[in-house]
A and B are shown apart, each in its own frame.
Chain A
Amino acid sequence: MIKKTKIEVNSLNKILGSKEILKDVSFILEQEEHLVIIGSSGAGKSMLIKCILGLENINSGSIFFDDNLISENSDKQKFLNKLGVCFQSNALFDSYTVWENVAFKSLYNLSSPNIFNLKKLAIERLEEVGLPTNIAEQYPSELSGGMQKRVGIARSMFSEPDILIFDEPTTGLDPIMSKKIISLIGKIIKNSKKTAITITHDINLALFLASKIILIDNGKVEWSGTPKQAMLSKNKLLNIFLNG
């Protein structure tokens, strides 16, 4: 079976001021594939995601989603609606309760939202990410870092997106919590056969979850391949990651 291409990025360049943040980045993400982007801090991983999402303008290159070139503003919003994004800094809205955060997309966009149903759905999502349902009425600031991360994941899954994107889901968490989040993401992706992109500097996460790995360094794609190829690779930088 030939898998469908979901996202195609062609020689993307991003310059901020006089600094080249991304240089000639290209990759393909196929349906039900899990791409893990790995690289040290400041390599440009988050920026790459923001360029793909259209939150940052790109200087040159092209991005295709389902074979459509994403350029027009209207396309961008349509494209964004099919994605569930979990940001590096969680980006939970602190003046809204946990369930309002999770259901935000429908709560503030439908002309007459059915509050009762949305809350029920939000609570289901909280259960799916392993959170107790009694936190639904609490505010994000009352939760621990790991719980906030889960709320962010629940929010990104809320409207059953085509593609899930996780930016550094385990950064800043203790090792036990990291393991739990990694297996949660693994479960979500395997259960729902989702296409996903995860950013990390945690090689174990990459080897465990990825169907394809891209190593980014200094804004350039330094290496790409499967986890198996990664284990055998002689690439110096990749080996630094592998051997800690």
Chain B
Amino acid sequence: MKIVFYIELVGQTFLIFLTKVGIFSRFFWDILSQALRGPFYTKTFLNQLVQIGFLSLPVVGLTAVFTGAALALQIYSGGMRFNAESVVPSIVAIGICRELGPVLCGLIMAGRVASSISAEIGTMKVTEQIDALYTLNTNPYSFLVVPRVCACILSLPLLTLTSDILGVFGGFLVGVSTLEFNPTNYLLNTVKFLELADVISGLIKAVFFGLIIGVLGTFHGLNTTVGARGVGKSTISAVVWSSISVLAANYILTEALFNK
């Protein structure tokens, strides 16, 4: 009897999972087809670019500076163990550009942007504004979803590039103050071993993170069920699922972009 119960449980969970995958695939397809069909709301897109990208600069920038600074200290104490303190500038740069810049950006944006997109669209859903859009001959996918997803896809690499620069700068500050590096040497070493591919691979990751954050934020917003509690629930789901997806995608993309 017990075995039957567990098999049923597994089966049910699997079915629910399949349904979710189905709903999500359908949503993704709807975004794509609506993006191609148009219209494209340029003004809304630019507005979202400011909301999503530009206004995230302070938090992303500060995170990058502090992380770069801490990274420099850690690599210094690690490097000291085999007399390789001089690797600090290059390892900081490579670590930030390949990994920490895009991942931290992705996680911060999952918290800041996926949540706000989901809460905004979710509130519109429960106050019948989404229904109203349909009756006013405006497709919510074109009007709400596509501009936000596009703004995320464009913002994330730009923010990542900013955090690459500021992260290296944070390392530089600690390097020349606490660690007493020569400023010129520090900068020369930073550039010497850093390859364009390091930066590019990070930016490619960021594009996918932007896609994930935009799509999951809008998805949870539009699937909000009744009431203020519904908005809260879908906002949590948007943050949790986009954070996890960013980290999972990061691993998959790192494997894909890895060169020996």
Name B's A-contacting residues (CB within 8 A): 39, 41, 127-129, 131-132, 134-138, 143
Contacts and interface: CB of A to CB of B under 8 A. Distances in A.
Interface in A8-62: 50, 53, 55
Contact of B129 (A83, A84, A88, A91): A91
B137 A85 contact: no
Contacts of A89: 127-128
A53 B133 CA distance: 12
Given A53-B135, A91-B129, 18 more contacts: A50-B131, A55-B131, A55-B135, A80-B134, A80-B135, A85-B135, A87-B128, A87-B131, A88-B128, A90-B127, A92-B129, A104-B136, A105-B136, A105-B138, A108-B41, A108-B136, A109-B136, A109-B138
A85 B138 CA distance: 14
B143 A108 contact: yes
Contacts of B132: 85, 87, 91, 93
Contacts of A50: 131
Contact of B134 (A53, A90, A104, A155): A53
12 contacts: A53-B135, A77-B137, A81-B137, A87-B128, A87-B132, A90-B127, A93-B129, A104-B138, A108-B41, A108-B138, A109-B136, A109-B138
A28 to B, nearest CB: 22
Interface in A218-233: none
A89 B128 CA distance: 7
Nearest to B136: A105
B138 A83 contact: no
Interface string A73-102: 000010011011101111111000000000
A80 B137 contact: yes
A102 to B, nearest CB: 11
Interface string A92-131: 1100000000001100110100000000000000000000
A63 B137 CA distance: 20
Interface in A118-165: 155
Residue from B128, B135, B143 with most neighbouring chain A CB atoms (10 Å): B135
B30 to A, nearest CB: 12
Nearest to A161: B135
Contacts of B143: 108
A90 B136 CA distance: 13
A55 B129 contact: no
B148 to A, nearest CB: 13
B227 to A, nearest CB: 11
Contacts of B128: 87-91
Please give me the 9 A-B residue pairs with the lowest Cβ-Cβ distance, nearest first. A91-B132, A91-B128, A87-B128, A105-B136, A85-B135, A91-B129, A89-B127, A55-B131, A89-B128
A152 to B, nearest CB: 9
**Residue of A80, A87, A93, A108 with most chain B CB atoms under a 10 A cut-off:** A108
A198 B137 CA distance: 21
Contacts of B129: 91-93
Contacts of A53: 131, 134-135
A155 B136 CA distance: 9
Contacts of B137: 77, 80-81, 105, 109
Interface hub of B41, B131, B132, B134 (most chain A Cβ within 10 A): B132
Residue among B39, B129, B136, B143 with max Cβ neighbours from chain A (10 Å):
B136
Contacts of B39: 111
A21 to B, nearest CB: 13
Contacts of A109: 136-138
Nearest to A105: B136
A83 B137 CA distance: 10
A109 B143 CA distance: 10
A14 B17 CA distance: 25
Nearest to B135: A85
A53 B134 CA distance: 9
A92 B132 CA distance: 8
A93 B135 CA distance: 13
Contacts of B138: 104-105, 108-109
